[in-house]
Amino acid sequence: MAGIGFELRKITNQGKITSFFEATITGIMIVAGPWIFSIIGITITQKLFALTSPESPRLFLGVLIYTYAGSMILWSGIQYLFTRAISDYLFHHQQRRAATLLVKVCIVMLPVSFLIALGAMLPVPLTVQNPFLFRLSAALFFGTISVIWILMMFISLLKWYFRILICYLLGMGCGAVIVWAAAPLLGVTGMLLGFTIGHAIIAIGLLGLSLHRFKPIRFKIVNGRMRQIYQSNKHLFFIGLFLSMGIWGDKIVYWFFRGSAPGNTWFYLFDPYDIAVYYANLFIIPGLLYFTIFTETEFHIYLKKFLLSLNGQPLIEIRKRKYQLKKATRKVMTDQSVFIGMMIMILLISAEHIINFLIPGLTTPLIFRMALCGLFLYFPLITIMNFMFYLQIYTVPLLAVILFFGINTAVAITTAGGFWNLPPGFSYIASLFVADLFILIRFNQSMKKLDQIIFLQ
């Protein structure tokens, strides 16, 4: 990802207002493009559906949210391994092998996800039109989203941002047209079908773009490569898994403790918190952009200088570079925190207005503010985790995300269960606070003896 950051930084360094906007738009596309298009797509889909059908879209939302949560939890470990494998291939200029791995993972992931989702949907009692088609669409949607997560990792290689944008517009557009056409006939089934087909088009388009750029070599589907990668990167797998479980832990708790499900299904949702989190996370984009363009690149620059000094420089020079790295890291983290902090502060102050504008009556200012605070505390964790990945230190991030998941879930159970009279989002904030503290302290310790750590690797 530092590569993208440097590209964007080059653009901003041109100093012109136009280049600043170009970098911003490009950066948003890369770090949050799919997310934004999903939100736009969902909003348009819901609006279209409301115009064409009297049914409640709640089941559709349930499928969506459970799909995002389930696919993240199920596949995030694999995503981390995949990212690691791709990075290794790129380092060795083996782009075609990277493309081959992409195809293999998609070939495995799509049917596995489809079958898991179908298996989960089959026992669900549905009172929609054409329940079989609904189940099929839900399963296909799950598979498609799972594959899109992987494609997103790979997309960072491609600098065809305009073509990626076209892919998304095409997919969303087609999806919207199908919803418009199918909803009057099939109700919420048609809505889900249209949305699914739209995402399938996006996935096919992105895959096609990837393979057109880097043609895969001949391969066997099962040749033990992913197992090899897992065995040498077990920590990464579990980091991904526990991070996703941490992110969704409290939401899942609130679904089942305080939520309600459409019809007799088990798609429990707790709207006030879900909606607050969903819209609050829109504001992650500026932070992610800042991290990509400034934080990560700055760290990378000083880290590279430090690493080069280890091979061929006397100890005094190594110590100097280490000090510079520590100082630069402290500065970029402070700057990032200030930037995000100021943004969150503004959002906290204007929470009521935002809710009234975007989601009137669907959540409360308190819950929305809790979600925003959680967002602020999320950044130190992922920032330091990324830094530690660069240093190939995996044990500390793993412990941090385990803490995050454990505390978040445990406290959520106590608050959702009514033991403590605390609002939703409290467990998320508390767990992130503890995880941040832990990872910050350990990162500091690691930085002090970074030369020793690198030599021992």
- Nearest Cα neighbor of 23 from 304, 343, 379, 286 is 286
CA distance 53 to 320: 67
The correct pick among 310, 328, 359, 366 for binding other proteins (CB under 8 A) is 310
For residue 399, the surrounding DSSP H or E stretch is helix 395-416
The correct pick among 314, 360, 361, 418 for binding other proteins (CB under 8 A) is 314
In the bound complex, what is the minimum distance in angstroms from residue 166's beta carbon to other proteins? 49
In the bound complex, what is the minimum distance in angstroms from residue 392's beta carbon to other proteins? 16
The correct pick among 312, 360, 361, 418 for binding other proteins (CB under 8 A) is 312
CB 287 within 8 A of CB 339: yes
CA distance 23 to 13: 10
Residue number, 136 or 450, with CB nearest to other proteins: 450
CA distance 197 to 354: 32
Q: Which residues pair with 367 in a beta bridge?
A: none
Helix/strand/coil for 425:
coil
How is residue 317 written in tokens?
């020079």
For residue 31, the surrounding DSSP H or E stretch is helix 17-52
How is residue 399 written in tokens?
């412990």
- Only one residue has tokens 């130190």, namely 380
The correct pick among 19, 94, 313, 386 for binding other proteins (CB under 8 A) is 313
CA distance 210 to 164: 10
CA torsion angle 390 396 402 407 (round to 10): -120
How is residue 387 written in tokens?
């830094």
How is residue 429 written in tokens?
């904030």
The correct pick among 91, 315, 360, 421 for binding other proteins (CB under 8 A) is 315
Check binding of 18 to other proteins (CB under 8 A): no
Q: Which of these segments, 22-30, 199-207, 251-259, 315-323, binds other proteins (CB under 8 A)?
A: 315-323
Residue number, 54 or 314, with CB nearest to other proteins: 314
In the bound complex, what is the minimum distance in angstroms from residue 2's beta carbon to other proteins? 24
Residue number, 12 or 313, with CB nearest to other proteins: 313
Q: Which of these segments, 41-49, 279-287, 306-314, 414-422, binds other proteins (CB under 8 A)?
A: 306-314
Residue number, 17 or 456, with CB nearest to other proteins: 456
Residue number, 2 or 318, with CB nearest to other proteins: 318
List binders of other proteins among 391-450 (CB under 8 A).
449
The whole-angstrom distance between residue 377's C-alpha and the CA centroid of its chain comes to 16
* Residue 251-290 contact track with other proteins, rule CB under 8 A, x = bound: ----------------------------------------
List binders of other proteins among 191-210 (CB under 8 A).
none
In the bound complex, what is the minimum distance in angstroms from residue 314's beta carbon to other proteins? 5
Residues 6 or more apart in contact with residue 91 via CB below 8 angstroms = none
Residues 6 or more apart in contact with residue 136 via CB below 8 angstroms = 118
The correct pick among 241, 318, 391, 412 for binding other proteins (CB under 8 A) is 318
Give backbone dihedrals phi and psi of 220, rounded to 5 degrees, phi first: -100, 145
In the bound complex, what is the minimum distance in angstroms from residue 307's beta carbon to other proteins? 11
Residue number, 17 or 316, with CB nearest to other proteins: 316
Q: How many residues bind other proteins (CB under 8 A)?
A: 12
List residues binding other proteins (CB under 8 A): 310-316, 318, 449, 452, 455-456
